Each structure stands twice: as C-alpha cells, then as structure tokens.
Amino acid sequence: MKAFSLHLLLLTLVLLSSSDYRVEAKCNFPAIFNFGDSNSDTGGFWAAFPAQHGPFGMTYFGHPSGRASDGRLVVDFLTQALGLPFLSPYLQSIGPDFRHGANFATLASTVLLPQTSLFVTGISPFSLGIQLNQIKELKAKSLSLNQSGLPLPSTDVFARALYTIDIGQNDFTSNLKSIGVAGVKQYLPSVVNQISWTIKELYDLGGRNFVIFNLAPIGCYPAFIRQLPHNARDMDQYGCMVSYNKAVMHYNRLLLQSLNNTRGIVPGANVVYFDKHAVLLELFRNPKASGFYYSTKACCGYGGGAQNYDPAVYCGNSKVINGQNVTATACGDPQNYVSWDGIHATEAANRVIATVLLNGSRSNPAFAFSKFCDLNPIG
C-alpha cells in the first residue's frame, strides 16, 4: 500500500491541529474496536471503578473523561479523523453507543491473565483475553438483537471495522522492580504470542484490518526514572535510562517478528505494526523540534525537580508529607509537555503520535489510511 501523499499529509496536520474540527469522512471503516490499557482507555476502568477526578481532562473535555491524560488520546484523534464519534467504553452502562465500535481497553490492563488482584497490585482484571471475550459477546448480542433498535453494530460492521491493539506496557513494567529486566524478558515471548493469537481470534470473528502499537520507551518516562533502580552511568544525554529502553526495543523486535509470522495465518488481512516507540523517543530526545519544551518532566505531579514526580502523591491527589498536606497539581501549559502525569502522554503528544499513525510513515507495512478513507476536513 502506498503512503500518504505530501498534500494529504499537510491536510492531516491541519485536521489534527484543531480541537474543534468536524469531519464527515467517507470511510471504509464504519467502526473501530480498540483493545488496550490506559494509553487508549476512554473510560472503561473508571466506569467499573468510579473515582477519577481533576485535573484529568482539563485541556479538551473540561472535566475528567475517564482518560489518563489532560485531553484526547491517540484513539480519539483517530476516530475523529475517520469521521467517527468517540468510542464508548464497553463497560459503560450509561448511554453507550456501539454502532461505530467499542473500546474494550481499561487502565492497568495486561496482555497475560493477571495472577493478582487489582486491590493488591493495581493490575486491572480486564486482561486482553477478557477483552476478547467481551467483543465476542458484543457480536453475539448484535446478531441476536439486530432488529431491536438498540445502539449496537450492524451485522456487517465486524468485517469492515478497524481493530486497534495498544497493550503490553503493564506486562513489561509491573514486575521490573521485583525480577528486573532479565526476569521480565523470560515471559515476553508469551506476551507477543498472546497478541498474535488474539489477532487470529479476531480474524475468525471477521476482522481484516489490524493496527498493533508497539511499546513506548519507558526509560524516558518521569515515573519510571524516579521508581526503577538505575545508576548515573545508565542515563543517556537525554535523561533516559538506557538499559530499560534497550529492553523495550527487545520486546518490540519480538512483537514485529510475531506479527510477521501472524500474517501467514490470516490471509487477506492487513496486520500493521505501528512504531509508537520511535515517535515518542524522538519527542523525548528532541522535544523542541515538535514544539515542546519539557520531555522527561511531568506536567501534573509533585516535587518539582527534573521529573516533577513523587510516587507518594500521584497527579490530582493530596497527601500529608512531613506534617504538611501537599497536592500534585497540573501545570498551566500542558501543550509544552510530552508527559502528562509521569506515565502517560499529554494531548499534545498524542496529537503528534496520531499524525504519524495517519500518515503511515512509521507503519510496517506502510498503511495508507487515504486508501480507505477521505480524511479531508469540511471547510
């Protein structure tokens, strides 16, 4: 597939630069079904465990929207570019509309089935296998209730939809403190195999177009810099931890190889590997080239310093420290930050990632959305 033309790329940049654009796109993707963790969760976790509060959502929504950011996520920009509404979380019981897809992602989700409880380690119970079962149930209900008038996908949507998978970060990071990089590497093949198996299961449901995100350079994230063991010799000139970023690159190579093998068992499908890692690594290393000022410093946090992150006081929370009540507050200019809360990206950084996703320059194989959709905004 051919990549975007320069003209279409410029139009895409204009499209994504506006927070108020409206798109009426003619698109062969009538829906998006998304699977993932907090990087693409549009409210599933907080629908199951209501508690989110400000300053999350401050930039775009003006209130907490269930997203781990100050505004929109990559999946939000993608749906808008394709002329679709924001995805309703599958777990949302009040007012969901699944006619144009559903979001099965939840914050803190893993690829592998968790061996612990949310209330013990903070890992979500909604692992990728559970999310797969949820879409199977959604399809079964859609088929059986097709004439009910409920806001469910039509029978042809599952074959024509775009399937996006952005998950694996929690599998990688949740055990780093206890077993180290060497220990985590032992089960990474199981993680990528589970993702490939999930693609095959979705293919059997009718899916034919898949975009799989690789892992971001966690060695540059403020929270991990503050929490993971390392020494000064492990830090590069950009303020990132070399050893952990190398381990992420190892995982990403495994994922790419696994997806290459998967293409052989899903004939007629597009299985696209999106290199989110490369996009974010460039933002962390050279933020000013993309209009940012801070890279490895959190916008919303406590403690100031190089990372502005204290694991004892997470974004928006308050705690008594040394006899004083302190609060992790948000900066007034999140558009200048790559990192929102030390773990997740700002809306501004997500916009950059989405732009690259749409132009296809970091996709393997090249995936031209222009072949499937008219992304031109209505003037």
Residues in Cβ contact with 121 at an 8 Å cutoff, skipping those fewer than 6 apart: 114, 174
How many whole angstroms from its chain centre is CA 198?
17
Q: Dihedral of the CA atoms 65, 277, 343, 311 (nearest 10)?
A: 170
Tokens of 346: 């700002």
Tokens of 379: 């003037």
Specify whether the CB–CB gap between 296 and 306 falls below 8 A.
yes
The CA-atom distances, in angstroms, between 177 and each of 174, 244, 249, 347 are 8, 12, 19, 29
Could you give the residue numbers annotated as active site? 38, 341, 344
Tokens of 59: 């930039």
The amino acid at 236: D
Residue 324 parent element (H or E): strand 324-327
Residue 102 parent element (H or E): strand 101-103
Query: What's the start-to-end Cα distance of the chain, in Å?
Result: 28
Q: How many CB atoms lie within 10 A of CB 206?
A: 14
Helix (H, G, I), strand (E, B), or coil: what is residue 20? coil
